[in-house]
């Protein structure tokens, strides 16, 4: 038996040998820097949100319903001042983007990932799509201008009514198309090879593998990507300026779901925000109106992102 | 439900009556004492210009278990995947030589790989149940084959054959991903059985399983071999010795001058002979544990 004394001594030696000797200063410093980065991000965002919310109280706090129902006016004190036309434009831009960009973009991604042979030509195409996703949005405005307004190709201006919500929606659909192709393509690439092999192994055709395994598995990823791209489209102003979104002299308020107004002159929330901010120089009351419009746009985008998250969770649950 | 006696119907287009070389029914069997399901002749597999496996020639007898063994990188999985045209899914893979399945060349241009895979099922290394219910996993194959009626019976029979029915019959609608690894692998066997195949190819089916689950799968293989011909790739020599009737030993031929490894078949014989008295020295070294 070991004596108690030596037992105690060796225990003390072991305890000393595993004792913490120096503080991990560098690690601590690194962690602090990272925390600061996060803090700066959050602080900027908080300042933005708080100032906007405070500025907007004049409109949102006192006459929210009228503000949502009203139209573009030249004076901020006009009791009919409001956002309805901007909401109509943004809502329909979002819908048109969803209807046009999603099926085409997802379809292109399915072809590229699942059917197209891997060779120089297809990787050249892929690189180009990635580049297109980074092209400044104003360039897409020029595309919309040439294609949909000036009727330089196919005479599409007769169909779109020239400068209209339809033209704006199509332009922004073209803008987000590369993003949809890329995010969907990544979702397809993330489908485990084991799933595909399992399905092929029991005699599924390529189409059946894609329909029953690849698409359901990739659905959450596709959904997140596409809805985020829709949020981006709704926030764009520059391309809409080029396709002729205007900030005044619009006709009567169309109903939110009045499809006939799609080919009329239009505006959208980012345009309204820009224009009201510009006007606040001569008429201070527009500051509150612009802030209120920002709040509405933020709520709109937030709703879309929440929908994306909810739908993604549902699909993910489904895939197990 | 056995399809083993049906004539192969792999070819979509009807064979011209003007004398294709398919043996007439009732013709004398081949000059071997056992029925042969597969015959491979000088099979090589290329990935691009790289030859992964070369000149593999052997027969696979009916209703037996054939084990493919050998060290890592000797191409045994690659060879296995030739038998249900799984290599077709790899873009630059190419198979030369000939593999016949009951007399029909599997790589004939009239052969539809989808039909091949319905007759020659596969169980993979990692259990790969679909993220669906247990029922839908088993019914998947029959459904893609266009079957709508009698699925309940197929699911039950397949799960019974795979020795899984007792464990899951009260939760067929639960997700298959909730099963244990061993149960998932038996589910994958049930899924393969459900399409009524003739052959099962198993690519290291127990490598991700614990010994108890492994033993269950091995028992299962013995039970179902009267209905199916089974080819199994395994890293585990004891497993090959336990379960198989015949064994093919592969090794890698390493060329040091250009640093390439090509899989070659060393010898094929009864499992007993391979493990007790192999003809080739390389086989003996491998099965006695001196290399690999």
When scoring B3, B90, B91, B114 by the number of chain A Cβ atoms within 10 A, the one with the most, hence best to mutate, is: B114
Identify whether the C-beta of residue A73 lies closer than 8 Å to the C-beta of residue A80: yes
In chain A, % of residues over pLDDT 90 = 52
Tokens matching residue A102 = 């999603």
- The DSSP-derived string for B128-147 is ---SSBHHHHHHHHHHHTT-
**Taking CB atoms and an 8 Å limit, are A198 and B126 in contact across chains?**
no
Residue A255, pLDDT score: 74
Q: What is the ipTM of this complex?
A: 0.84
Enumerate chain B positions whose Cβ falls within 8 A of a Cβ in A: 84, 86, 89, 91, 114-115, 117-118, 121-124, 126, 128-132, 140-141, 144-145, 175-177, 188, 191-192, 194-195
Tell me, what's the pLDDT at A271?
Answer: 93
Going by C-alpha positions, the residue among B75, B25, B4 that lies closest to residue B229 is B4
Kindly give, in sequence order, each residue whose CB lies less than 8 Å from that of residue A290, ignoring residues fewer than 6 positions away: A55, A272, A273, A276, A277, A280
Those residues of chain B that have pLDDT short of 70 are: 1-34, 291-292
- As a whole number of Å, the CA-based R_g of chain A is 28
The answer to whether B128 contacts A212, with C-beta atoms less than 8 Å apart, is no
pLDDT at A5: 61
- Domain ranges in chain A are 88-264
Measured in angstroms, the CA of B140 and the nearest CA of chain A are apart by 8
CATH class, B36-287 region: alpha beta
Min Cα distance A320 → chain B (Å) is: 6
Sign of the Cα pseudo-torsion (B111, B113, B119, B123, in order) = positive
State whether A199 and B129 contact (CB < 8 Å): no
Strand positions, DSSP E, chain B: 36-47, 50-61, 65-69, 93-101, 104-105, 120-123, 199-203, 229-233, 246-255, 260-270
Options 3.20.190.10, 3.30.465.10, 1.10.760.10, 1.10.3720.10; CATH for A88-264 is: 1.10.3720.10
Residue with tokens 């109280």: A57
pTM of the shown model: 0.81
The position carrying tokens 């029915």 is B165
pLDDT along chain A (320 residues), means of 10: 66 84 86 97 95 89 85 83 90 93 95 91 94 93 88 75 87 95 95 95 94 93 88 92 78 74 85 91 88 93 88 78
Using CA atoms of B272, B275, B279, B280 in order, give the dihedral in degrees to the nearest 10.
150
pLDDT value for B23 = 44
Report the alpha-carbon angle B247-B88-B41, nearest 5: 40
Determine the pLDDT at residue B33.
Answer: 52
Q: What is the pLDDT of residues B162-213, one digit of tens each?
A: 999 999 999 999 999 999 999 999 999 999 999 999 999 999 999 888 898 8
Place of tokens 């499809």: A259
Give the SS3 label for residue B60: strand
DSSP A81: B
* Contact (CB<8Å) A202/B195: yes
Contact (CB, 8 A) for A58 and A288: yes
- Tell the residue number behind the tokens 């459904």, with chain if given: B143
Q: What is the pLDDT of residue B291?
A: 67
Task: Evaluate whether B98 touches B41 at the Cβ level (below 8 Å).
Answer: yes
């Amino acid at each position: 038996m070991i004596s108690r004394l030596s037992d105690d001594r060796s225990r003390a030696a072991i305890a000393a040998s595993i004792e913490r000797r120096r503080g991990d200063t560098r690690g601590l410093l690194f962690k602090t820097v990272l925390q600061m980065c996060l803090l700066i991000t959050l602080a900027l965002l908080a300042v933005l949100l708080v100032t906007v919310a405070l500025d907007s109280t004049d409109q949102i706090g006192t006459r929210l319903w009228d503000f949502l129902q009203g139209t573009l006016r030249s004076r901020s004190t006009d009791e009919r001042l409001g956002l309805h036309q901007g909401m109509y434009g943004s809502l329909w831009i979002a819908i048109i983007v969803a209807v046009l960009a999603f099926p085409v973009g997802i379809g292109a991604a399915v072809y590229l990932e699942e059917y197209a042979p891997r060779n120089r030509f297809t990787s050249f195409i892929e690189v180009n799509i990635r580049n297109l996703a980074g092209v400044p949005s104003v360039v897409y405005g020029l595309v919309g201008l040439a294609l949909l307004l000036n009727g330089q190709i196919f005479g599409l201006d007769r169909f779109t009514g020239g400068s209209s919500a339809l033209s704006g929606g199509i332009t922004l659909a073209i803008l987000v198309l590369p993003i949809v192709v890329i995010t969907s393509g990544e979702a397809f690439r993330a489908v485990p090879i084991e799933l595909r092999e399992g399905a092929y192994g029991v005699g599924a055709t390529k189409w059946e593998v894609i329909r029953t395994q690849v698409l359901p598995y990739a659905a959450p990823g596709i959904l997140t990507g596409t809805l985020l791209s829709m949020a981006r489209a709704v926030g764009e102003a520059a391309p809409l300026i080029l396709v002729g979104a205007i900030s005044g002299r619009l006709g009567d308020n169309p109903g939110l779901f009045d499809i006939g107004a799609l080919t009329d002159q239009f505006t959208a929330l980012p345009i309204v925000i820009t224009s009201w901010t510009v006007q606040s120089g001569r008429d201070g009351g527009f500051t509150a109106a612009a802030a209120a419009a920002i709040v509405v746009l933020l709520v709109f985008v937030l709703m879309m992102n929440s929908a994306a998250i909810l739908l993604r969770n549902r699909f993910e649950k489904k895939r197990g | 439900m056995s399809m083993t006696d049906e004539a192969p119907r792999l070819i979509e287009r009807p064979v011209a009556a003007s004398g294709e070389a398919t043996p007439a029914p009732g013709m004398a069997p081949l000059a071997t004492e056992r029925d042969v399901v597969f015959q491979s002749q000088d099979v090589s597999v290329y990935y691009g210009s790289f030859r992964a496996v070369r000149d593999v020639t052997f027969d696979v007898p009916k209703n037996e278990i054939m084990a493919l063994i050998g060290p890592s990188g000797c191409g045994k999985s690659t060879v296995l995947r030739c038998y249900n045209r799984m290599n077709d899914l790899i873009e630059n893979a190419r198979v030369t030589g000939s593999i016949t399945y009951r007399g029909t060349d599997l790589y004939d241009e009239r052969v539809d790989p989808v039909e091949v895979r319905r007759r020659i099922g596969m169980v993979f290394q990692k259990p790969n149940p679909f993220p669906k219910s247990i029922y839908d996993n088993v019914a998947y194959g029959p459904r893609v084959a266009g079957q709508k009626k009698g699925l309940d019976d197929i699911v039950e029979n397949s799960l019974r054959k795979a020795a899984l029915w007792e464990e899951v019959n009260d939760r067929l609608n639960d997700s298959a991903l909730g099963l244990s690894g061993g149960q998932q692998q038996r589910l994958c066997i049930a899924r393969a059985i459900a399409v009524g195949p003739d052959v099962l190819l198993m690519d290291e089916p127990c490598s991700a399983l614990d010994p108890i689950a492994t033993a269950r799968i091995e028992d299962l293989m013995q039970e179902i071999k009267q209905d199916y011909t089974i080819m199994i790739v395994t890293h585990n020599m004891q497993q090959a010795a336990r379960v198989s009737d015949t064994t093919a030993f592969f090794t890698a031929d390493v060329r040091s001058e250009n640093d390439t490894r090509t899989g070659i078949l060393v010898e094929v014989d009864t499992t007993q002979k391979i493990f007790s008295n192999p003809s080739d020295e390389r086989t003996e070294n491998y099965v006695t544990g001196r290399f690999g």
